[in-house]
Amino acid sequence: MTCIKCGSDRIRTETLPRYQDDGLVGLANVVILNAAQKYVCKDCGEDNGISVPDVAGLQAAAAVTRVMIPVKLVGREIRFLRNALGMKAKELAERIETRADETVSRWENDQRPISARDEKMLRLLAGRILSERAKAIGFDETVIFNMKIPALSAVPLREVVMTFIRIRISVDTWAEPAAA
Ligand SMILES: [Zn+2]
């Protein structure tokens, strides 16, 4: 690559110890450790951007992690899960056998809370499909079946922060770091 400012091809890469870009996978509070690469021009010092490996895998890892956390999903998280599944609202509504795609869009816009039953179906669907791309993230359908998801009004919403590292199983994949 060549520098966007001076055209030099002397670019050094720097691994960022911690990187968070809320636009990266379509969900806020996804943090990655020692995985993002920053490109800096050796000649003029210009910042030539940042790259993150396997963004689709990271999106899947964030989705599976989130569905295993027993905190009620809010609209933007439901949209994130649907996007991670690559489904239109209509398709999602059909897959989880809820009333209509209009319902899905109401959930996503926080105009109507998702029912506990529909939320479990969404979590199971997302976890089942996306864990194929996030093999280091623990997904357990039984935990979701047994999950008690409190009503929205019962608990104050808290921001769920999810942190990931790259590990190698048979290929490099996203994992959660050992508890700090
Ligand atoms: Zn330069």
Q: Read off the tokens for 144.
A: 């979701």
Q: Is residue 26 part of a domain?
A: no
Residue 162 lies in a domain: no
Q: Is residue 24 part of a domain?
A: no
* Domain that includes residue 102, residue range: 55-150
Q: Is residue 111 part of a domain?
A: yes
- At residue 168, the pLDDT reads 87
**How many Å lie between the centroid of ligand 1 and the Cα of residue 10?**
8
Q: How far is the CA of 51 from the centre of ligand 1 (A)?
A: 18
How many A from CA of 16 to the centre of ligand 1?
Answer: 20
| Residue 35 CA, ligand 1 centroid: distance in Å | 23
User: Would you state the pLDDT for residue 147?
Assistant: 92
Residue 13 pairs with which residues in a beta bridge? Answer: 39
pLDDT at 157: 55
Q: What is the CATH classification number for the domain harbouring 103? A: 1.10.260
CA distance linking residue 34 with residue 14, whole number of Å = 10
What is the domain count for the chain?
1
| Ligand 1 mean position, distance from CA 52 (Å) | 21
What pLDDT is stored for residue 163 in this prediction? 92
Q: Is residue 167 part of a domain?
A: no
Measured in Å, residue 2 CA sits from the centre of ligand 1 at: 8
Q: Is residue 63 part of a domain?
A: yes
What's the burial of 146, exposed, middle or buried (CB within 10 Å: 0-12/13-18/19+)?
exposed
Per-residue pLDDT, 175: 93
Residue 47 included in any domain: no
Write down the pTM of the prediction. 0.88
Asked whether the beta carbons of 72 and 147 are under 8 A apart, the reply is no
Predicted confidence at residue 152, as pLDDT, reads 58
pLDDT at 158: 59
- Distance (Å) from CA 36 to ligand 1 centroid: 20
pLDDT averaged over consecutive 10-residue blocks of the chain (180 residues)? 95 97 90 96 96 96 94 92 96 86 89 91 97 94 91 60 89 83
- Residue (of 169, 142, 140, 167) closest to 65 by Cα position: 140
Residue 103 lies in a domain: yes
* Distance of CA 20 from the midpoint of ligand 1 (Å): 25
Centre of ligand 1 to C-alpha 39, Å, is: 10
